[in-house]
Structure 1
Amino acid sequence: MFAGLDVSMAETRVCVVTRDGAVVHEVKVPSTPADIAAALAQVQACRRVLFETGRMAPMLYHGLSRLGLPVVCVESRQAYQALKSLATHKTDRNDARGLAHLARTGFFKPVHVKSLPAHAVRSLIIARKKLVGQRVTLENQIRGLAVVFGIRLPRALSSAFIRQALQASEGIPGLSAAMRGLVAARAAVLAAVVAIDADIKRMVRASDACRRLMSIPGVGQLTALAFTAAVDDPGRFRRSRDIGAYLGLVPRRYQSSEVDYTGSISKCGDRRVRTLLYEAANVMLTRYKQPLKLKDWAFAIARRSTMRKARIALARRLAIIMHAMLRHGTQFKPA
């Protein structure tokens, strides 16, 4: 028996087929591991239970795995192309049947579902990014209101920024209340960012892997923590150089007959980790003053191409080195 699950936030459509493709069981149940397992228990043991990636995928994957079900998660883009060729109309019932047939034929590529602790770390990093963006938005709004009255404020992170902003609004009805509200909101956002930074610092101190990654020039706490959460299990990559393609740091290629085109990087995978690696590469090239072979290698690329391509190449090389360090438990050796 083979099962396909079409998952939504509230309900999941379950379809079970035989080896020959005959549908033997179809039902709609709540999207919880216990309810799905109970629905599958009504038929013979399934050799494979297949569903697509999505927001519910981590919870369902680990929950069903703990219940002993042979669950497999597939990339939604690949499943979409296969399901489009199997059914004319896109319905939950047809999607569940199509996924069951994919499970039966084996015409799919399973994807790794990160552990729940890795997802928790990723959530912390995403929350910090969102809060920092909100802080910048509030500061720009304060600056824009002050400019209307001819007041140019200093850098937002300086101590004089808030003082001059409040002084500029004194005695002006409407503007004073707006400034106080924006300043209070900025203070609350800054406090939340400081609290998240403290959590990140504690997590990095407790992680031997993060401390080893931070021995690389340019790699800080946020980069090390985000990279370890993105990799999750270093053993799932057969070669360390495969991490470059996983993070979207390799050139995109299109080949058809006489056409063979190599473009810019693919930008697949975790955008935040890719950005942090690029920033780490920039710090290594611009701020690290000690001699380093990695710097010489990147500057050689910059001389025959551009500095931007050198940073991207160095970011990819850093990802390869960091994965090898995680996989083998080694320290960074500058020489």
Structure 2
Amino acid sequence: MFERTSVGLDVHARSVAACALDSETGEIIRQSLAPDEVTGWLLRLPGPVAATYEAGPTGFWLARTLAAAGIECPVAAPSRLLRAPADRIKTDKRDALSLARMLRLGEIVPVRVPTVGQEAMRDLSRAHAVAVKDLSQARQRINAMLLRQGLIYPKDSHWTREHTAWLGRQRFDQPAAQSVFESLLETELLAVQRRKRLDKLVASAAADCEYTTVINALTCLRGIDTVAGFGLAAEIGDWTRFTGSTIGSYLGLVPSEDSSGQSRRQGSITKAGNTRARWLLVEAAWIHRRPYKRPGVRLLKQWELVDPTTRLRAQEGNQRLHRRWETFDARKKTSTKANTAVARELAGWCWSLAAPLQQGATMHAAS
């Protein structure tokens, strides 16, 4: 659709710098607005109107508000915006004008705007990740303090009931040190309880949400449990946007490249796209290095929740990914590089499980 007025918005918590380009008159209209004034101001501009702003900490509420008012508003991917290397002056007004010009030229690469429910699922997944990280840090602090005092747990298994009981028996001569240690134990206990609560919330949400069939399919692959499957489904959302070859690029799992003429140089992975989803796949890829002859109890239970086609596809993926690890190990490839390559292929297998299910659901809804 042709828009007469293209608007760039530089959005902050309490202010919005707006710049509108009128394609008929060539006029540039600038305005400083409060966030709740944006919709009314846009509706007063010569129509049709389209607006855009960068994805960032302010989220997607403005895009949803404008869409409800009938105003097209693609949210721009910050990493894909065109910027001149020599442009060293950055202000809100210049950013808004630049966004308006790129929107007029059709150079905006949009991100997917999730629904309110989808964003809530993503927030839950990320809250669980934060809880796991906080627990890990709390335990590292306890281990560090014990190490400074020369106290080493005699067994290999840590954070079991026996280990927890051993921690509770430790005493320090200095009252200050004892108080600090007890505070660290309290922090660890609270972190465990918080993670367990979020474990239950994730399991409950995964069992009854719009992505339940996709989560059930993803968890048929080794290394992807309910938490990881829920996280991948919430972060990626619509798998039909990609193909088996483009999903790896979206997740930043493909090599960077700097080629010119006859010279071709490839570097480390791009690490573009969704950081959380990439991390989940990289962690899951390590599991496929372990021996695999037949599915375990968890996979057998999970396979009962999916159709035969998905089950066969998942089994094929599990076997293929383990063979890839065997090949890399036989070639003595660096384990981190090998794991990244397996993670990239794992992304493709996840897509092959999820995309057909979403495509089928879309076709069913349309009919």
- TM-score by shorter chain over 0.5: yes
Structure 1 residue corresponding to 2:171, chosen from 164, 169, 180: 169
Q: Could you tell me whether the CA contact under 8 Å between 2:258 and 2:264 is conserved in 1?
A: yes
- Give the Cα–Cα distance (whole angstroms) in 2 for the partners of residues 144 and 109 of structure 1: 46
> How big is the alpha-carbon RMSD for the aligned residues of Structure 1 and Structure 2?
2.5
Q: Deviations over 1:195-239 (max 9, x none)?
A: 0111111122221210121112232112211211222112222x2
Taking a change above 3 Å as real, the CA distance of residues 295 and 145 of structure 1, as seen in their structure-2 partners, is closer
Tell me how far apart the structure 1 counterparts of residues 141 and 239 of structure 2 sit (CA, whole Å): 43
- The gaps in structure 2 that reach 5 residues or longer are 295-317, 359-367
Matched, 1:15 2:19: yes
Q: How do 1:227-238 and structure 2 match up within 5 A?
A: 227-237=232-242
**Offset at 1:170?**
6.1
Q: CA deviation at 1:66?
A: 1.9
User: Pairwise mapping of residues 191-206 of structure 1 onto structure 2 (< 5 A)?
Assistant: 191-206=193-208
1:224 aligned to 2:251? Answer: no
TM-score of the two chains, using structure 2 as the length reference: 0.80
The answer on 1:208 being equivalent to 2:235 is no
Q: Which residue of 2 aligns with 1:143?
A: 143
Please, which runs of 5 or more residues in structure 1 have no aligned partner? 331-335
- The one-letter amino acid of 2:35's match is S
Check if 1:269 corresponds to 2:269. no
Tell me which amino acid in the other structure corresponds to 1:222.
V
| Structure 1 residues 1-335: aligned runs within 5 Å | 1-20=5-24, 22-32=26-36, 35-79=37-81, 81=83, 89-153=89-153, 155-169=157-171, 172-206=174-208, 207-237=212-242, 239-290=243-294, 292-304=319-331, 306=333, 307-329=335-357
> In 2, distance between residues paired with 1:299 and 1:52?
43
Cα distance, 1:172 vs. partner?
A: 4.4
**Whole-Å Cα distance in 2 between the matches of residues 21 and 259 of structure 1?**
47
Question: Contact 1:218/1:288 (CA < 8 Å) preserved in 2?
Answer: no
How high is the sequence identity, in percent, across the aligned residues? 22
Q: Once the two structures are superposed, what CA deviation does each residue of 1:82-106 show, in whole Å capped at 9, x if it has no partner?
A: 5x77x77432222222222222222
**1:49 deviation in Å?**
1.0
Conserved 8 A contact 1:52-1:76? yes
1:284 and 1:21 map into 2 onto residues whose CA distance is 61
Q: Name the SS for the 1:28 alignment partner.
A: strand
Name the structure 2 match of 1:333.
none
Structure 2 Cα separation of the partners of residues 21 and 166 of structure 1: 76
**1:109, 1:150 → 2: CA distance?**
56
TM-score (norm 1): 0.87
Amino acid aligned to 2:330: R
- Provide the rounded CA distance (Å) in 2 between the counterparts of 1:149 and 1:315: 40
